[in-house]
Amino acid sequence: MRVQIIDVNTLWHNRYQCLLAIAFIAIALTYVPLVNAAPAAKIVAPMVVYKSPSCGCCGAWIDHMQQAGFRTTVQHPKNLNTIKNQLGIPPYYQACHTATQHGYVFEGHIPADVIQHFLANKPDAKGLAVPGMPMGSPGMDTHRDFDAYDVLVLNKDGSGSPYARISSDKIIYLEEK
């Protein structure tokens, strides 16, 4: 039988090398996935929706927006008209709720597709509005009636002009005519 004598200093040195190797492997395993990972998805700011706590059609519109992929944060201000005035939405363009995202305002029951189109094109405007509460619009879709309606672009000077016409089966973007 052969007896091997190991010096304590050699044993400690081997443990130290082993710990260094484990630490190096742990760091490498953490770093490699970060280098080879696909770029993270662009973080999109949530849409802030200002509404009355008791408004059911506003809640249905928020559901519509979330189903289209928008993240929403809901606020119930004491005075909704104060918010609309601060955002510069003239009374004749107002509806029951107001939303903001990326520096734009979205007033009323605007379809998610129209907001996505607007945000993709980033026009030099204040935002969009659907004044009133048209039957058949998102949140007002009772499946009984549908009234064709226009989505208006809110210009920075306070004026508005038609942006899209919504019918029961299609959206026509008026700037593309």
Query: Could you read off the pLDDT of 100-151 as tens digits, one per residue?
Result: 999 999 999 999 999 999 999 999 999 999 998 888 888 888 777 788 899 9
Neighbours of 98 (CB within 10 A): 26
- Give me the chain's average pLDDT, please: 81
Q: What is the pTM of this model?
A: 0.73
pLDDT at 32: 44
Best CA proximity match to 76, nearest among 94, 52, 56: 52
DSSP letter, residue 126? S
- Which token pair is 173? 């973007």
Q: Where are the domains of the chain?
A: 47-176
Best CA proximity match to 136, nearest among 144, 125, 124: 144
pLDDT tens-digit series, residues 1-49: 554 554 545 444 556 564 455 555 545 444 444 444 444 445 568 999 9
pLDDT at 15: 61
Q: What residue spans of the chain are helical by DSSP H?
A: 8-36, 56-67, 80-86, 112-121
